[in-house]
Structure 1
Amino acid sequence: MPVFTSTNRPLDIDLLVLPETNLILIASVIEPLRGANRICGADIYRWRLFTPDGSPVETTSHIPVPASGSFRPAGDSAPLFVLASYNWRRSATQTLKMQLSQTARHRSMMAGIESGSWLLAEASLLDNVSAAVHWEDFEDFALAYPQVRAVKDRFVIDGKRITTAGSLPTVDLMLEIIRRRQGYSLALEVSRLFIYEPAAVYGAVELSPSTAGLRMRDPRVAQAVRLMEENIEQPLVLTRLARRVGVSARHLQALFQESIGAPPHVHYLALRLNAARRKVIETKESFAEIAAATGFNSASAFSRSYRGSFSESPSGTRQRLRRRSTAKAEPT
């Protein structure tokens, strides 16, 4: 089974962090996964950090990051993310390149995060695949590795290889992984935790929590999303929503697909279901009350939609979190 297909099974990820890696680059991998775990109330993502010698790695912020141990090419099959920022060549020893080649035989996926792409290319692990490269290094990378198809994308998933072009593109990658595994609703909710795009991207359009992380360059899409968020209890039909924005329903559908990769009804439903899940988790409201507050005609309709998106019923969510809370409260 491909690693990033739809599933609720926990995913283990190993991170090999090299010296002089940016702290934000490490956070760009881990924080979306931590956010997904918190929102779901379950450890659907787990990670281990390794360094070449097992010692804490010194980041460019002079904040050392501890490691679980030294990196060894064992038979682990978990995806391996190789993280590097500056002076990666100091770590690109023959030993490390050989270890990467050996571990690639077992890993279900290998990812080069920012300058980690150079390490994978040095180990001949990106031959004949497309790879994203930081814009500052693009020309040098393309000249150094003609056997690699360097592309000017934020991130690339090509078979069993992943590459990213920087810290913020890495957040995009992690959101895409979450979307493929747990669906659009969870990816959207995690994206709301990260408002990282510069204001110039949006022009005069105010950035709201629902637009965070979606890079909506068309103000009409951002306006439509704000209208959706303001009308959760009584959802607007597509034709009325499009009229409020000043375009046809068909044009709005095309704008959404181009801007965020999902049609309006999918995004609107995700907003409503995420609002409902927060109420399921954070309040004691009945499911009928939650259904009414999030635009569903009945508790049964709400429950079906909830289960279809989150793979458990609203009552199942509350029962699971109650068991988890009880287990934590019990003395060890």
Structure 2
Amino acid sequence: MTATTRPPRWPRSFAFVLIKDFSMMPFTAAIEPLRAANRMAGRTLYEWSTLSKDGAPVRASNGAVIQVDGMLRLIGLADAVVVCAGINAYDHRDSDLAAQLRRASRQGAMIGSVCSGSIVLADAGLLDGRRCTGHWEDLETLAENYPTLDVTKSIYEFDGNRFTCSGGTAPLDLMLHFIAEDFGRDLAAQVADQMLHHAARAAAGPQRLALSERTGVRHPGLLDVIAAMEANLENPLPLPALAEIAGLSLRQLERLFAAQLGDRPAAHYRSMRLGRARQLVRQTGLSMLEVAVATGFSSAPHFAREYRRTFGCAPSRDRTAMGPARYLFNRSACQRTCSAIKVDTNS
């Protein structure tokens, strides 16, 4: 806890701000450990409330509708604020919410997020210059859209009076950290046991499954090649170099790809690059030339042809079809906006 953070009152209070299309699992994974901590301790250690912009129920991405406890004006009463977002988080950025979050920060509340809530905090200028994380699907575009952030791949991050967390069940690990810090490891272990969560993950642990689990591949050389492809989307490695990484001949690599992935190495690599390109097209304001360069294509026309062949439309049309709120501004505009917001936050 930093000097600018309000000392916690006991019980510590959390305000969960629900954004339309928020992900249900991270939300419940954050609340349930608090409930279990109260039960294990036999007294109220934590309190929580759910808020929305207008006090109206909020629909989650799975279609469930959650009745909230109140409107955003109650946000300042909490010791810690947790923004819960999910798919389409860029569409739900809101200036009123940003102002409320900045006000709560100035009043000493800890400000945090789960899943794609880090996008909302970044847009409010509350993560400027901070170490932060989010759902792995958002990390690369978060870094592109907000270059002043120090984006990591951690499960969760604390930086001063800010905390951010990835998606899925990761908020359970985040809250176990809170419980251990507040009331000791024994209580945190009891809560983890109640949740059938046999080992609390460290903050810096990996978000994603191991590459072998994601792909079903077991051949170590082939796994090394796929990892090298993922790490070199902007500057694609030539196939002979990939074969050398695997310790195979080029022909052996081709056969191995066909046998285990049903694909050719070049086609698999191109598919990975185009998948990344589509994410940049839909969720950033990078020019098509910048997207092409970032994904290893020799020119914008070549990129556009490959994109159209794969996704059935030109990248510019794909961006337009997503609506103007879906993607952000360019880097220079982002830097100017973040600088202006930093002055406003005074946090």
Aligned to 1:170: 171
Q: How do 1:144-293 residues align onto structure 2 when only pairs under 5 Å count? A: 144-195=145-196, 212-214=198-200
CA distance in 2, matches of 1:49, 1:181: 22
- The amino acid across from 1:50 in the alignment is L
How far the C-alpha of 1:118 sits from its partner, in A, is: 0.5
Normalised by the length of structure 1, the TM-score is 0.56
Q: Which residue does 2:80 correspond to in 1?
A: 79
Change (3 A) 1:190 1:62: same
Cα distance in structure 2, aligned partners of 1:105 and 1:122: 17
Change in 2 beyond 3 A, CA 1:66/1:107: farther
Deviation at 1:127, TM superposition (A): 0.7
Distance 1:174 1:74, change over 3 A: closer
Higher relative contact order (CA 8 A, sep 6+): 2
Question: Can you list the C-alpha shifts for 1:87-146, whole angstroms capped at 9, x where unaligned?
Answer: 122321222222222222114200021111010100000011100121111111111111
Alpha carbons of structure 1 residues 5 and 97: separation in structure 2 relative to 1, 3 Å: closer
The answer to whether the 8 Å contact 1:132/1:151 transfers is yes
Report the 3-state secondary structure (helix = DSSP H, G, I; strand = E; otherwise coil) of the residue aligned with 2:169. helix
Deviation digits for residues 235-280 of structure 1 (CA, Å, limit 9, x no counterpart): xxxxxxxxxxxxxxxxxxxxxxxxxxxxxxxxxxxxxxxxxxxxxx
List per-residue Cα deviations over 1:197-240 (Å, max 9, x = no partner).
xxxxxxxxxxxxxxx133599xxxxxxxxxxxxxxxxxxxxxxx
> What SS does the aligned partner of 2:132 have?
strand
**One-letter amino acid of the structure 2 residue matched with residue 61 of structure 1:** N
> Which residue in 1 is equivalent to 2:119?
118
SS at match of 1:167: coil
- Gaps in structure 1 of 5+ consecutive residues: 197-211, 218-332
Secondary structure, counterpart of 2:49 in structure 1 = strand
Whole-angstrom distance in 2 between the partners of 1:9 and 1:76: 13
Q: Does 1:38 align with 2:39?
A: yes
Aligned-partner Cα distance in 2 for 1:109–1:215: 22
Q: Does the 8 Å contact 2:76/2:104 carry over to 1?
A: yes
Q: Secondary structure at the match of 2:139?
A: helix
For 1:215 and 1:128, how far apart are their aligned partners in 2?
Answer: 25
8 Å CA contact 2:105, 2:111 repeated in 1: yes
Distance (whole Å) between structure 1 residues aligned to residue 158 and residue 108 of structure 2 = 15
Change (3 A) 1:99 1:136: same
Deviation at 1:27, TM superposition (A): 0.7
After superposition, the Cα gap between the structure-2 partners of 1:40 and 1:214, relative to the gap in structure 1 and judged at 3 Å, is: same
After superposition, the Cα gap between the structure-2 partners of 1:102 and 1:8, relative to the gap in structure 1 and judged at 3 Å, is closer
Partner of 1:28: 29
Q: Helix, strand or coil for the counterpart of 1:72?
A: helix
Amino acid in the other structure paired with 1:213: A
- Classify the secondary structure of the residue corresponding to 1:49: strand
Q: CA RMSD in A?
A: 2.6
User: 1:61 deviation in Å?
Assistant: 2.4
How far the C-alpha of 1:62 sits from its partner, in A, is: 1.9
Deviation at residue 6 of structure 1 after TM alignment: 11
SS in 2 for 1:12: strand
The residue that corresponds to 1:15 in the other structure is 16
User: Is the 1:73–1:100 Cα contact (8 Å) retained in structure 2?
Assistant: no
Q: 1:73 to 1:101 in 2, by over 3 A?
A: farther
Q: Please state whether the residue corresponding to 1:136 is helix, strand or coil.
A: coil
Bigger CA drift: 39-48 or 75-84?
Answer: 75-84
The 3 A distance-change label for structure 1 pair 178 and 74 is closer
**Offset, 1:24:** 1.3
TM-score (norm 2): 0.54
Letter in 1 for 2:159: D
Partner of residue 90, structure 1:
91
Task: Kindly state the Cα deviation for residue 59 of structure 1 after the two structures are TM-superposed.
Answer: 1.2
Residue identity over aligned pairs, in percent, reads: 30
Q: Separation in 2 of the partners of 1:78 and 1:98?
A: 17
1:49 aligns with 2:50: yes
Question: Hey, what's the Cα distance between the residues in 2 that align with 1:9 and 1:74?
Answer: 17
Q: Distance in 2 between matches of 1:99 and 1:17?
A: 14
Residues 73, 9 of structure 1: alpha-carbon distance in 2 compared, 3 angstrom cutoff = closer
- For residues 102 and 9 of structure 2, the distance between their equivalents in structure 1, rounded to whole angstroms, comes to 30
State the partner residue of 2:137. 136
